[in-house]
Every structure is written in C-alpha cells, then in structure tokens.
Structure 1
Amino acid sequence: MRFLYSACIVSYLLNDWRGVDIERATEYILMCTRYDGGITQEPMQESHGGSYFCALASLALMNKLDALEDRRMTLEWGLRRQVGGFQGRVNKPADVCYSFWVGSGIEILGGHQFVDLEEAARFVLECQHAIGGLGKFKGSLPGMKTR
C-alpha cells in the first residue's frame, strides 16, 4: 500500500497518471478493505493504521473515495483506534506516529469532528522529552528502539 501511495503522490504532483492504472489501483485498495472497516497492506492481512492512511490518501488523490463500499465503517475503524492517542492496530497501545496516520485518514474521510482533540494532544504532549523530540509512547526516548 505504501508503494501505491508513493506512486499516487508522485503522479498527482506531476499531474501525470500514465504510470498508475487508476481502476486496478482502486480495485486493489478495495480488496484490502476488511470486514472491520480497516485496510491492510495486502489482501487478507490485519487492518493497520499505516495502510489506512496510504489507501485513503491514494483514493483521494485518484478522486476515487466514492469507491469505498462502506465509508462509514471505514471511518468508524479509525475512530475506534483512539484510546487517548491512536493505536495502529486493534489491541495495541497508542503510538505517537498513528496520531498522524490514523488521524489523517479520519480527516480524509471528513470525520475530524468526531476525534477527541484534547485527548489526542494530551497523549502527544506526554510523549515529548526534555532532550527534544517525541518518543513512540509515554516513557520512550526519541530515536530509541522500543519493544
């Protein structure tokens, strides 16, 4: 999904879609849309926040958001990922990066008014460090690998 998004953003910026088969790309994204409303990297995998953004942004860039079979369910998947901050997958802890990935997907779908912005901001600010930057989650240091 990341590579498709990369191709779409380059095509959009260059205003040249000859390198992207928009119909097949849209079909692929729809094949990656899951029963829970989330979107996967490849068909039949687990819904993931990064794929959610890349797929929705690709559809928006290709002017194909209306192809989503259940836009409301897809929006709800993103909204259900807010647990203070946003989780990238079901039953995982909130992670700063998904404040962007999932939050941006929600924005693309026009659902920003349903996000608890105070909670999201509180989570991100709790992940700031005196040495600078943001950690993955509260208590992690920026740039350090965490489990």
Structure 2
Amino acid sequence: MPDELIELFSEEFRRKHASALIVADSIIILEIPEFNINHEKFIVLLTSSIQGNEFCAVCINSNPSPRNNHVIIHPHEYHFLDHVSHVDCGSIIAFSKEYLKELLFREPHRYKGSISETAYIDIMLKVSQSLTITDEQREKFNL
C-alpha cells in the first residue's frame, strides 16, 4: 500500500503535474541556502527568464521590508499562513525550472497554492518600480 496518495499515480503523471505547477503566481515552500537561514521560506514565482530555463521569485516574510517595498497578504486568504505576511518586492531570487520540477515531483506537498490575481499585479508593479532590482535582472526576466 502506498504511503501517500500521490504514489498511486504513474511517474509520468506526477512529472507532468509537477511541471504544470511551475507557473507565474505559484506559491512554493523551500530552503534558500544563500539566505543563511535555518528555516524554509514561502516564495511566489513571478516570471520565467527570456531563455525559459529559470524562474524569478520573491519571498514571503513575517516582517515588512525596510523600504516599505512589499505587498501585504492575509491568512484568511491563504490557508498556510499563520499571520499577516509581507511579500518582499525589493529583491528577486532565481531558480532553475528543472530544480523546481524535480522538487515538486519528489515533494508535491511543497506547492501551497497560488497568489491572487490582485496581489500578483501589485507584486509585479512594485517589483518593476523597485530601485533595488538590477538592470540585468530586469532584462533577464523581462521585468
């Protein structure tokens, strides 16, 4: 008997499903080693790179950003949040699409849902106007 319901599906189906979750507005929880923190972070996927092999994302934080460059989201809209949170629009991080696909194939529970259309638009506006996003990042991810 499979330990998890997902194991009832074929590997091909699970790979297609994981791939389908790698889209703008997806919320995923994962570790970000370069942040030097010992806990996982929720991220919101924004756009893929011009080459199509990477996705940029922003982090969901407990505290507001120092420059007030964030979008507030509430736990009554997102079941996985314990408190009012802040989507940091002052910095983006990049992830390989293949890394995200493999992560969600192996651990589908990391996908938490999607950000609302209104919040996504607010995030994209703030990111596009952010003075801390580099020109290289803007060009690479068409921001």
> Normalising by the residue count of structure 1, what TM-score does the alignment of the two structures yield?
0.27
Instruction: Point out which structure has higher relative CO (alpha carbons under 8 A, 6+ apart).
Output: 2
> Normalising by the residue count of structure 2, what TM-score does the alignment of the two structures yield?
0.27
Question: Which protein is richer in helix relative to its size?
Answer: 1
